[in-house]
């Protein structure tokens, strides 16, 4: 359990850095994540009949945000520090577009993990 707390603390610290570097509010940050999650779900799994219910799943949102924060931690935060200040906001939004690259490693991992987790998400929405 301490590893989970440590990881969440790291993700929270990273988020504060991203907000500062990109000059975003927490609301803008959260809206961006929600917008991307909904767009990703529509593009990758638009055929699912329970797509709208999935967007109401707490587990789905935790899962999506965990992947988001992991990408920030592994790849994007360092890149933002090496980006011209006036371009950081745009760069951050561009970097997260990797989830739509159907041939990319990040996109494939997210896609396959979603398939593994789908029953869990669906079960939660039917309770």
N- to C-terminal Cα separation, the chain: 27
Check pLDDT > 50 for residue 10: yes
Distance CA 2, CA 91 (A): 33
Residue 109: count other Cβ atoms within 10 Å of its Cβ.
13
Check pLDDT > 70 for residue 2: no
Q: What is the mean pLDDT of residues 98-117?
A: 94
Q: Which residue, 15, 11, 126, 9, is CA-closest to 80?
A: 15
If one counts the domains in the chain, the total is 1
Its pTM surpasses 0.95: no
The model's pLDDT over 55-94, given as tens digits with 9 standing for 90+, comes to: 888 999 999 999 999 999 999 999 999 999 999 999 999 9
The model's pLDDT over 20-68, given as tens digits with 9 standing for 90+, comes to: 999 999 999 999 999 999 999 999 988 888 888 888 889 999 999 999 9
pLDDT given for residue 68 in this prediction: 96
Distance CA 76, CA 117 (A): 25
The residue segments making up the domain with residue 94 are: 2-126
């Amino acid at each position: 359990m301490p590893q989970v707390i440590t990881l969440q603390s790291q993700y929270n610290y990273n988020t504060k850095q991203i907000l500062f570097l990109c000059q975003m509010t927490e609301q803008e940050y959260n809206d961006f994540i929600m917008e991307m999650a909904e767009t990703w779900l529509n593009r990758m799994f638009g055929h699912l009949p329970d797509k709208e219910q999935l967007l109401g799943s707490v587990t789905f949102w935790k899962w999506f945000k965990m992947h988001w924060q992991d990408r920030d931690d592994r790849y994007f935060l360092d890149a933002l520090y090496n980006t011209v200040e006036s371009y950081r906001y745009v760069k951050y939004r561009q970097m997260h577009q990797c989830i739509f690259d159907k041939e990319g490693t990040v996109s494939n991992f997210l896609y396959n993990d979603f398939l593994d987790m789908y029953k869990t998400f669906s079960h939660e929405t039917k309770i």
